[in-house]
Amino acid sequence: MVVILVVTYSRAARQALRNACRAHEDAVVRRFGRVALLEATAFGAFLGLRLRERHGGDVQLERTTPLNEFEDAFADAREAAVAYEDRESVSTPYAKFAKERDLPSKDRLREQEL
């Protein structure tokens, strides 16, 4: 499910977000402090855009999609994460761990655009 992510960067914008979420619970997927996820409906967008209209750059709006780690694009990252979280010694750094097992290095992961 696609959602609209709203992040606020001022006290006034944060308060306005709080009020909007309180008044329109049905359009809110979740709220964390100065951040909220709104339903990706025209109404959710309307709430977010009203905040942006009033508070300008103090309101960041993003449309986000769920991440499916089983998609091909995430294969390297997923395999590396699964293997590393299953390591025997918690103190082994990832760089060393990766080298020993033919997993991608941190730099390679960084370079790989999704």
Partner 1 sequence: MRVAYGAASWSGRALDLRDVAVSVRALAAGVRATGSVVVDEGRELRVHCEPPGRVFEHVGVVSPGAAVDVRAALAAVAWSREESVDGVEALAAAREELAAVEVPEVDVSAARERVAEARAAAEAVTADVAAARGAVQAREDLDADVDAGRERLRAAVADASERETELVAAEQALARERELAREARDVRERRLSLADRVGRLEREVRANRVATTWSAFRDAVVAVPGGSLDDVDAEPGSFAGDDATAALAAVRVANVTTPVVVGIDRFDDAETAHQVLDAPVVLAAD
Residues binding partner 1 (CB under 8 A): 9-11, 14, 34, 57-58, 60
Q: How far apart are CA 14 and CA 57, in angstroms?
A: 13
Report the residue number, 34 or 78, with the smaller CB distance to partner 1. 34
Burial class (CB in 10 A: 0-12, 13-18, 19+), 47: buried
Minimum Å distance from CB 19 to partner 1? 17
Minimum Å distance from CB 33 to partner 1? 11
Minimum Å distance from CB 87 to partner 1? 33
Check residue 113 and report its DSSP letter: -
Report the residue number, 9 or 43, with the smaller CB distance to partner 1. 9
Q: How far apart are CA 1 and CA 30, in angstroms?
A: 13
